[in-house]
Amino acid sequence: MGVDAEMSEMTMVESLNLALDQEMESDERVLLLGEDVGEDGGIFRVSEGLNEKYGPERVIDTPLAESAIVGTALGMALGGLRPVAELQFMGFSYFAMHQIESHVSRYRWRSQGGMHLPMVIRMPYGAGVRALEHHSESKEVFYAHIPGLKTVIPSGPRNARALLASAIRDPDPVIFLEPKRSYRSFREDVPEEPETVPIGAAELVRRGEDLTFICYGAMLRPVLEVADGLADRGVSSDVLDLRTVAPLDVDAIEESVRNTGRAVVVTEAHRAFGPASEIVASIVDRVFFYLEAPVERVTGYDIHVPYFAREFDYLPDVEHIERAARRALEV
Amino acid sequence: MPRTRLDVYPTLEHLSILGEEGDLDEDLEPNLDEHLLLELHRVMLLSRRFDDRRLSWQRSGRIGTFAPVKGQEAAQIGVVSAITAKDWFVPSFRETAAATWRGASLTSLVLFDAGFNEGGRVEEGSHDLPISVPVASQLPHAVGLGYAIKRARKDEVVMVFFGDGATSEGDFHEALNFAGVFGLPVVFVCQNNQWAISLPRDEQTASKSIAQKAAAYGLPGLQVDGNDILACRVAGIEAVERARSGQGPTLLELCTYRLSVHTTADDPHKYRSEEEEDAWIARDPLPRFQRYLVGKGILDDDAIEELESQIESQITGIWEDAKEEMEVLAQDPAHIFEHVYEEMPAHLRRQRDSMRNGGGR
């Protein structure tokens, strides 16, 4: 990217809208479908204005049926289109789980490469917006666990835009999980020119020597706060923003932890059988003998995300991350 | 003869008793005693005012997102008044009026709206299920309850509520099919409030009615003016009697209107016209029923005014109670570990203790 590229300050909602708009503009096979994505512009307004620009044939307000949305998107992809399906909340995506696991993930494999599914399934996930039950969970492992899917989670407006564009262009199905807590809580410069980033590649957001933080999605901001605080006290950290949860960028993890010997993994998902478990396992597999301290996991508890009065008691915060970092550094 | 007419669902009826203009079908008018009529009215008015107050609490940040019931009070209270305490009430997430009729604690509802899980507590032995958020997901539960009732040879009935949007979900079709096949005592109550967030009814389904979907599963269906509390009551009684007498399930379509937002996170002016809203305000079930009661000489302006002021202080009391309780509950963050299992497993005890001790994760 050139230094003089035109930039605009955007929220994640706006940058996702930009990605959809530009991909629809440049590739007429791209279309959107989901509940309230048309005239309403999506319940979070991610598809705002696209209905007017591209019409109801390409921005499709569907009846209320998640399974049919995903199954229909599959058929559209087989038929030569590039559907981007929106599910309103991760908590409602399980209606579609059967289509996702039984078919979306398997078509390339089942047809032995004769058919494939260039499709994206978008859904907001995560807590922190005072929402109702089923509107706050982080069950990314459900999707990360399934072979044949790519599970992508942006952390900010700029990479959200670039990752969504990459997901739409990807030849395989991508589960695109949007941290709703980050939808409007901050802005970033986003280049006006289309931008992509490779799916499956983590980004080293801070470079340091003493400690590695591994995180993604809405956890990046509190992690950066801790890393910057530590830097003020002379402790320098690597901060890895995974951006893709599956397939996991184990090379990036290995490289960083081999160098620092200490790692703190931060996710808002549950702890047991969660994404942090897989990340720690990959560290143990690859760089166990380089470790100078036990790897720390900072995660959500193994309970349903409580109703919103106590959702911040569930969520990992700066204090938890800082304490874990201290433990990792003390040994 | 290769092509003959199939005798499938030859008729579908629409029931209306008390019209928009106060016109009354006296042949169909149910003979309800004065006490019941006034109680129906009291709960309608309470639901309406409770909704108004919750909206103002939500707008001032005192409670979170909720789904207003405004406009659907007659539909909910009319049909739910047809079941008794021993019957089962299976709501979705907008059934505040029906729940109020069933005697739900409004203080608990405020706690729920304010984001405290304790607000969802169900008393042991209750036949009223908690709020179910994922659309249509509660319908199969009603079927299972119906099966249990039938197997125990009990004379209970299950009444399950959902909206027009729910009829697009697989769970709706699967549940109606099961209930039909097993001949279960379930009353399926679809409140067709014309909008599923931004999707109008005629884009939700190409069917001319929702009631006709019953035919596909071999059950009777009836379309009802959902803003006419008398018609809703009569339709409810008919369906409940059918279920209770072993004649199986019914699908009721109550045609009504969501006069307010889908939830407080929604802005209807993005997708529907004020003209349309005005037309439905004119069909508001509350003044319609009030005019009927005034006409019968069992209610007058003074009585309404007195009831309004009673309700206002009742709701103020509900808020005071809820506020007091919230202050206590807020002291107990570790409550989040409760009720995940009957017995808290070791790993959750460790996580809870670590939280209490201000330890790590």
Query: Could you tell me which residues are beta bridge partners of residue A237?
Result: A211
Phi, psi of B301, rounded to the nearest 5 degrees? -60, -40
**What is the per-residue pLDDT across A128-160, written as a single tens digit (0 to 9) for each?**
999 999 999 999 999 999 999 999 999 999 999
Asked if residue A48 belongs to a domain, the reply is yes
For residue B17, give the DSSP letter: S
Asked if residue A172 belongs to a domain, the reply is yes
Asked if residue A197 belongs to a domain, the reply is no
CA distance B233 to A189: 59
Q: Which two three-digit tokens encode residue A292?
A: 């100078």
Same domain, A261 and A319: yes
* Chain A residues inside the 8 Å CB shell of B326: 309
**Residue A2 reports pLDDT greater than 60:** no
Whole-number percent of chain B with pLDDT over 70: 99
Q: Which residue has the higher pLDDT, B357 or A243?
A: A243
User: The domain containing residue A210 runs over which residues?
Assistant: 203-330
Radius of gyration for chain A, computed over Cα atoms and rounded to the nearest angstrom: 20
**B199·A61 Cβ contact <8 A:** yes
Q: How many residues does chain A have?
A: 331
CA distance A216 to A309: 24
CA distance A256 to A282: 12
Asked if residue A318 belongs to a domain, the reply is yes
The CATH number of whichever domain residue A122 belongs to comes to 3.40.50.970
B273 contact A CB<8A:
no
CA distance B311 to B95: 19
Residue A3 has a pLDDT of 55
Residue B6 has a pLDDT of 81
Average pLDDT on A153-171 reads 98
Under the banding of pLDDT at 50, 70 and 90, the label for residue B165 is very high
**Residue B143 reports pLDDT greater than 60:** yes
B111: enclosing H helix or E strand: helix B106-113
**B168·A296 Cβ contact <8 A:** no
Same domain, A187 and A208: no
**What is the per-residue pLDDT across A36-50, written as a single tens digit (0 to 9) for each?**
999 999 999 999 999
Same domain, A157 and A207: no
Q: Which of A191, A211, A239 is the last residue of a domain?
A: A191
Residue A291 has a pLDDT of 98
Q: Which of A144, A169, A191 is the last residue of a domain?
A: A191
- Do the beta carbons of residue A61 and residue A35 sit within 8 Å? yes
**Residue A1 reports pLDDT greater than 70:** no
Asked if residue A198 belongs to a domain, the reply is no
Radius of gyration for chain B, computed over Cα atoms and rounded to the nearest angstrom: 22
Mean pLDDT of chain B: 96
Q: Nearest CA to B118 among B322, B349, B264? A: B322
For A36, the closest chain B residue by CA position comes to: B198
* Chain A residues inside the 8 Å CB shell of B360: 296, 298, 320, 323-324, 327
* Chain B residues inside the 8 Å CB shell of A306: 117, 335-336
Same domain, A19 and A102: yes
CA distance B250 to B187: 5
**What is the per-residue pLDDT across A273-293, written as a single tens digit (0 to 9) for each?**
999 999 999 999 999 999 999
**Residue A11 reports pLDDT greater than 80:** yes
**What is the per-residue pLDDT across A172-189, written as a single tens digit (0 to 9) for each?**
999 999 999 999 999 999
Same domain, A128 and A27: yes
Taking phi over 0 as left and psi of -120 to 50 as alpha, with beta for the rest, A327 belongs to: alpha
Asked if residue A306 belongs to a domain, the reply is yes
Residue A4 has a pLDDT of 60
**A133·B64 Cβ contact <8 A:** no
Of A298, A307, A316, the CB nearest to B116: A307
* Chain A residues inside the 8 Å CB shell of B265: 43
Same domain, A31 and A107: yes
Coil/strand/helix, residue B10: coil
* Chain B residues inside the 8 Å CB shell of A95: 134, 137, 169-171
**A64·B165 Cβ contact <8 A:** yes
Asked if residue A196 belongs to a domain, the reply is no
For A316, the closest chain B residue by CA position comes to: B361
Same domain, A226 and A306: yes
Q: Give the minimum alpha-carbon distance from A123 to chain B in angstroms, rounded to a whole number.
A: 15
CA distance A256 to B168: 49
Whole-number percent of chain A with pLDDT over 70: 99
For residue A227, give the DSSP letter: H
- Do the beta carbons of residue B101 and residue B128 sit within 8 Å? no
DSSP of A124-170: EE-S-S---TTSS---HHHHHTSTT-EEE---SHHHHHHHHHHHHH-
**What is the per-residue pLDDT across B1-55, written as a single tens digit (0 to 9) for each?**
689 888 776 689 999 999 988 899 999 999 999 999 999 999 999 999 999 999 9
**What is the per-residue pLDDT across B287-324, written as a single tens digit (0 to 9) for each?**
999 999 999 999 999 999 999 999 999 999 999 999 99
Q: Give the minimum alpha-carbon distance from A325 to chain B in angstroms, rounded to a whole number.
A: 10
Q: Give the minimum alpha-carbon distance from B174 to chain A in angstroms, rounded to a whole number.
A: 13
Query: Could you tell me which residues are beta bridge partners of residue A239?
Result: A206, A213
Helix/strand/coil percent split, chain B, to 5: 50, 10, 40
* Chain A residues inside the 8 Å CB shell of B133: 91, 132-135
**B169·A310 Cβ contact <8 A:** no
Q: Which of A145, A168, A191 is the last residue of a domain?
A: A191
Maximal CA-CA distance, chain A: 60
Same domain, A315 and A215: yes
Same domain, A37 and A147: yes
**A301·B205 Cβ contact <8 A:** no
Q: Domain total for chain A?
A: 2
**What is the per-residue pLDDT across B210-237, written as a single tens digit (0 to 9) for each?**
999 999 999 999 999 999 999 999 999 9
Of B199, B271, B347, the CB nearest to A272: B347
Cα A233 to its chain centre, rounded Å, is: 31
Under the banding of pLDDT at 50, 70 and 90, the label for residue B126 is very high
A283: enclosing H helix or E strand: helix A275-287
How distant, in Å, are the alpha carbons of A205, B74, B105, B109 from that of B221?
60, 19, 32, 32
Whole-number percent of chain A with pLDDT over 90: 98
**B361·A65 Cβ contact <8 A:** no
Per domain, the residue ranges of chain B are 13-24+32-330, 333-361
Same domain, A69 and A181: yes
- Do the beta carbons of residue B72 and residue B97 sit within 8 Å? yes
Asked if residue A299 belongs to a domain, the reply is yes
Could you please state the CATH topology (level 3) that the domain comprising B13-24+32-330 is classified under: Rossmann fold (3.40.50)
For residue A210, give the DSSP letter: S
Same domain, A29 and A161: yes
Of A92, A130, A272, the CB nearest to B64: A130
Under the banding of pLDDT at 50, 70 and 90, the label for residue A224 is very high
Q: Which two three-digit tokens encode residue B306?
A: 């007195």
The CATH number of whichever domain residue A230 belongs to comes to 3.40.50.920
For chains A and B, CB pairs below 8 A equal 130
Same domain, A152 and A249: no
CA distance A320 to B358: 9
